Amino acid sequence: MQLKNFYPKMSILGIATVMALTACSDDNPSTPFANTPQFPDSSSAMEPTSSDALAEPTSSSAAAVDPSTLPAEGPITLPQGLGVLVDDFEDGDNLSVFDYWYTYNDNDNGGASIITTPLNAEENIIPASVNNGSKFALQVNYTLDRGDYEFDPYVGWGVQVAPDEANGRFGGLTYWYKGGAHEVHVEITDVEDYDVHLAKFPASRTWKQAVVRFKDLVQGGWGKEVPFDAKHIMAISFQAKGNKSKVITDSLFIDNIYLQDSSEVEKDQPDMEIKDPVIPNVTFTEAEITVTNPLQEKAMKYLNKGVNFTNWLENADGKFKSFELGEKDVQILAENGFKSLRLPIDLDLYATNRDAFVKGTDTELKFDDDTLFMVLDSFVEWTAKHNMSFVIDYHEYDNSYNTTSAKDTNYIKMMAETWKHVAAHYAENTREDLFFELLNEPDMSDGKVTAAQWTVAAQAMIDAIRTVDTKHSILFGDAQWYSITLLTKRTPFTDDNIIYVIHTYEPFAFTHQGGSWTDYATIHDLPFPYDPAKWSTVSGDFGVNKSTKSYVKTNIKNYYKTGSKEAIMEQILKAKKWAATNNVPVIINEFGALNLRSTAESRINYLTAMREICDTLQIPWTHWGYTGNFSVIENGKLIEGLDKALGVGK
């Protein structure tokens, strides 16, 4: 990161390169933060359109402009109350009530982003002229260019605040802005890994007021979770962030930044009813769930009580560097009663000329076999030694299989050749508990690849595998995140050695509350199962705020219908009935609940319900997560209560 100092007094406390990192983990599959802070009801959020084209950066030095000559906009309001006006920029200088303004960019990390501001003759930041009811506002112009940076490009600007016990009285922040999408960061000294508390705002081409309650701030999600404490505020900063695929040029004006006294922060109001739970009546006959295919017995024997090794080899930058997880971890799982290991790994990262092959300039796909098979062979050996089955799961967080590549015959051929290469390596392996999973959740970032498109790619991979290996079973899940709905509309493949897979994280409001990459980032304390005694008439008690998306609010209000074992079972039963009708096995190899905002008791209740459902329907299961935010093991030991919940343990 490159930070520009404008006064010797400036330090870089609270600014570091990792501030701008996008979390890359099982807890965050490279998707944006979902929290969009509130706007006053009179203002609507606006996204950029082609007609409000992005502004070109101006010179870093700007001549004074008479505001009266500018088109009138606004007027914006100047807050007055018990809080503190951080800066209204009307004095025309670089000094806020706390300190001087600074800027920074991603250049020290290999990025090529540029940030410029109007400067005076001494090369100090000065505000820009505006005609919004005030004379001046802070203006930044920027170009977001990834360059050689590994993650999303960024620029930022901010002001330091001296931590003070008296600052504990502040409960929120307001400001006016016009321009590009951005984040506001309220940094506190308690955060030591730069996983700052933040909120996101969409672009607006007219002046809008942003209102952020500190209670609604969320952290990025890649570091240690730390409670927000206003007494420890050390900086207020803003950040514009781009993406890896294109260069973005834009500008942003900020004005009238105000720290609200807690008494000025809007309070949550009653907006829900406390209702009795609505429990579905789930019924079925034994015949409706019976699968006589020998693969069913094989699946129950080898693919039940499984665990995923996550947040490693499936990452966009996940090509093997070292054994972050190894035999000791396999042994821990085996000793605690787990029977299967699913290893998510992005197999095509080991194709050394992948891009050239897809472009058609190379006709033969080549591989880094030394690395690829050192990893896979090690886990094949370790799982055999500790009596666990092993699933090689082609799993990619870079979303390289998407709506574009799904139409590219060379890309599909690359995927097929990759599997042929791996399958050929294990064709003579006598283990019947070694499985090949075609591709996890095709187009997992967007879910827009159709079932028909995915069928073409899947069939190509199946055919390629079967040219070298007819023995080992293949695992197939459908498009749209291994959708139950799509699977139940499918005619099974003609290959008779395929086991079908679904994923389920329902009720999503419960399992993903607090997930910073989801629209449930601010949600907390939803119980499982739904319990009227633990409910509230105020959705804000569960983290709902004005920025919460309407469908999330609806899901919270309807949780009395979905927050039960029976509601989950009703959905899973559809897949099981399809499997029985077609006499093929179906398994669940992803489910789980984030441990960020729910209670341990509720998570145990949820996992117990999932295990009981799978036992009843004779569906083998594999839990998403070994350690981390979807964990079964902590500090080398089985989490308390999981022995009974999942039917495992020593």
d(CA 230, CA 188): 7
Phi first, then psi: what are they for 322, rounded to 5°?
Answer: -160, 165
> One of 192, 590, 634, 640 is an active-site residue; which one?
590
Phi first, then psi: what are they for 370, rounded to 5°?
Answer: -60, -45
Strand 474-477 relative to strand 498-503: parallel, antiparallel, unpaired?
parallel
Reduce the DSSP state of residue 547 to 3 states and report it: coil
What percent of the chain is helix, strand and coil (3-state, nearest 5)? 30, 20, 50
d(CA 274, CA 283): 28
The string of DSSP letters for 177-217 reads: EEES-EEEEEEETT-SSS--EEEEE--EEEEEEEEEEGGG-
> One of 183, 314, 437, 441 is an active-site residue; which one?
441
The residue type of 82 is L
At CA 534, angle to CA 608 and CA 271, rounded to 5?
125
Strand 389-394 relative to strand 434-437: parallel, antiparallel, unpaired?
parallel
Is 592 exposed, middle or buried (CB count within 10 Å of its CB: 0-12, 13-18, 19+)? buried
Q: Give the CA-trace dihedral at 299, 301, 304, 307, to 10 degrees.
A: -100
Whether residue 590 lies in the annotated active site: yes
Q: What is the CA radius of gyration of the chain?
A: 27
CB atoms under 10 Å from CB of 499, counted, come to 26
**Catalytic sites, residue numbers:** 441, 590
